[in-house]
Structure 1
Amino acid sequence: MRKPLALAATWLAALLLAMPAVAQAPPRKPSPRGAQVYFHYPLDGLRVPERFTVRMGLKEMGVAPAGIERPLTGHHHLLIDVDAPPSDQPIPSDYNHIHLGNGQTEVVVTLPKGPHTLQLLLGDSTHTPHNPPVISKKITVYVR
């Protein structure tokens, strides 16, 4: 007859072997010194109509669609009325986190009247920010 402690240890070992391994996040892609993402339009403090085009710029890196792995490239994400997400996790995709995964450098948005914050964040082929993150300053626009 097995002792209860030995039986518990055997059961625990079997449970641990049956559990799937915890997936580790892939290492973040590096960004070069001086890389910048910025707004061509709109600029901070601008009054805009409810429907307007956001135009983005990028320095020291290239644009590539999501899923395409090329060194020193990424694709744009437009953050609306939110703080930047954690830089070690994929960027969420929802109304406040607009993914431009086809490599677009502009997007038409429609926002309700009032003040709104906008920020740009470059994501790698897996929608994860680079290391260090390539992120714009947050701007405020006023929808009329």
Structure 2
Amino acid sequence: MSSKLVLVLNCGSSSLKFAIIDAVNGEEYLSGLAECFHLPEARIKWKMDGNKQEAALGAGAAHSEALNFIVNTILAQKPELSAQLTAIGHRIVHGGEKYTSSVVIDESVIQGIKDAASFAPLHNPAHLIGIEEALKSFPQLKDKKRCCI
């Protein structure tokens, strides 16, 4: 396993897709989908080490609960994955005219995503929640400027 693992997040309006991949060779160590946010049947499905699993997130769960489940339940099964994360990549639907390629996330980028929310009103607010929750869960990556869009 490489020491260059990346957590990739795609926060939609009612779901969150996630994966941990090796940035060097593209190998996927974890992939999954949390869905049905804000509904009684909110759930999360994931595949790790060839095993597929599923769990209920609880009625009304959303992005915060899903990311907490990923960090505290799924990644707790393989702590070496968290330990080897070197970056978090966020798929952002619309960065407006200002962001047309990948950038390191800082306060000005967060403001730019907020400013472009009218172009993607269902997605950009969800992306911002994903960014905020990821930075809370992995503060060591923020300090190294390792969160990107």
Instruction: Determine which structure has more spread, i.e. the larger CA radius of gyration.
Output: 1
User: Quick check: which one's helix share is greater?
Assistant: 2
RCO higher in structure (CA 8 A, sep ≥6): 1
User: Quick check: which one's strand share is greater?
Assistant: 1
Taking structure 1 as the reference length, the TM-score comes to 0.26
Taking structure 2 as the reference length, the TM-score comes to 0.26
